[in-house]
Amino acid sequence: MNELLLIVMAYLIGSVPTAVWISRSVFGIDIRDYGSGNAGATNTFRVLGPKWGTIVMVVDIAKGVAATSLYVFLPYLVHDELHRTNLMIGLGLAAVIGHIYPIWAGFKGGKGVATLLGMAVAIQPLVAVCCIGVFLLVLYLTRFVSLSSILAGVSFMVFILFIFNEKETLYRIFAVLVALMVVLTHQKNIGRILKGTESKVPIFKHRDRRRQRRSGE
């Protein structure tokens, strides 16, 4: 099994349109006809609620992990760390492209953030855990999934370049590209956040009720 075939397989794994299939099979709708029109976890949180948004996010992360881990079918990479890391980046990017342009859903998918996270989990688990921490903290404080995704993506670059000081040049370039891609694909969300019109996900309701009661006292 050669590397090109693995990259094609990674793209097909990334192309699994989790949000589209769930919205159609469970709710009888196409998630892309609602909210932001994206077939990703953020829009699923917004339209279908936190339960289904979480399921979509977990599956999309798993897509990134599975696709990036396809290198195991090439045993000769076990002792070639540089070659293995480069291939993993290629596999992960193929999965992300598949998520954004899924062959199984008319090439109209999501923004690829969750699949990128899965890719990071497979390549650099500790950095991924740190990014998840940033995501959850921002989500708890703001309830903006979009802002949480943006800051998690930017923090990935910061962790790779400065905190963990990764030496592999391709990985450093990849980290910068991730940050740029996340920001560019969330331009509309950034605009809505600045205008105060970005939707918040319906989580932490008990916390919000307590705050409302306190403000009314």
pLDDT digits (tens, 9 = 90+) for 19-77: 999 999 999 999 999 988 999 998 998 899 889 999 999 999 999 999 999 999 998 88
CB atoms within 10 A of CB 5: 11
Q: What is the pLDDT of residue 159?
A: 96
Q: What per-residue confidence (pLDDT) applies to 129?
A: 95
Q: Taking 80 as the threshold, does the pLDDT of residue 215 lie above it?
A: no
What pLDDT does residue 204 have? 60
Which amino acid makes up residue 7? I
- Cα-to-chain-centroid distance, residue 23: 18
30 and 105 Cβ atoms separated by less than 8 Å: no
Q: What is the pLDDT of residue 209?
A: 55
For 161, 179, 202, the CA distances from 66, given in Å and listed in that order, are 25, 22, 30
The helix (H) or strand (E) run that includes residue 145 is helix 145-158
Specify the pTM.
0.87
pLDDT at 206 over 90: no
Across residues 125-147, what is the average pLDDT? 93
> Are the C-beta atoms of 151 and 182 separated by less than 8 Å?
no
Q: Which of 78-82, 107-111, 131-135 is the least confident region?
A: 78-82
% the chain with pLDDT above 70: 92
Whole-number pLDDT of residue 136: 93
C-alpha span between 199 and 17 (Å, rounded):
23
**Confidence bin at 81 (pLDDT 50/70/90):** confident
Q: Has residue 214 got a pLDDT over 90?
A: no
Judge whether residue 132 has pLDDT over 60: yes
CA distance 15 to 9: 10
Q: How far apart are CA 108 and CA 41, in angstroms?
A: 14
Question: Per mean pLDDT, which range of 28-32, 79-83, 127-131 is the poorest?
Answer: 79-83
